[in-house]
Amino acid sequence: MAIRPIVKWGDPVLHAPSAPVAVGDASLRQLFVDMVDTMYGAPGIGLAAPQIGVGLRVIVIDLSVGKDPSQLIQLYNPEFLSREGEQKEDEGCLSIPGHYGSPVRPEKVVVKGLDPQGVERTYTATELLARAFCHEIDHIDGQLFVDRLSPLKRDLLKRKLRKKARSGWEE
């Protein structure tokens, strides 16, 4: 088990677009293992490589938080094929502990990417899974849910986050 530290808001890797993965190799397979271990250890329902300090387009999602192995989604170079509708629910983020917001997300998404073996996978998702895909793909695009809040809520939360980042994220 290789649980890696989760980087917090303010770390430059979280605010920059991630590089596409060129090929699947042993280091990529290990990255997936580490990301899944870290996500379950947090615990969380999703994790993007930038959240553990790796600027690559890699995401993992499991709404069951490890209880149902068939729900684990592992993708590199994911992209949206379509987005439709609108939903707005509370979201949290492992890189922004203790803070929540309700960004507007699509109600339904279709996402395509490559699994750890390099096999192309396509997922059609609604509700929480659609939000999870949007949240994790935002991470690899250098965005966090905070960036999708209304200007007033975004500014208030960023002010709090800057203060936490300056104090080293200690309460």
Among left, alpha and beta (phi > 0; psi -120 to 50; other), residue 111 is beta
Q: What's the gap between Cα 26 and its chain centre?
A: 22
Please say if 136 is a catalytic residue: yes
Within 10 angstroms of residue 165's Cβ, the number of other Cβ atoms is 14
What gap in Å lies between CA 81 and CA 72, rounded to an integer? 20
Give the separation between CA 132 and CA 45, rounded to whole angstroms. Answer: 8
Which of 79, 107, 120, 136 is catalytic? The answer is 136
CA gap 52, 64 in Å, rounded: 21
Q: Is 171 exposed, middle or buried (0-12, 13-18, 19+ CB in 10 A)?
A: exposed
Q: Is the dihedral of CA 168, 19, 125, 107 positive or negative?
A: positive
Q: Where do we find the tokens 């707005």?
A: 88
Catalytic positions, written as ranges? 136
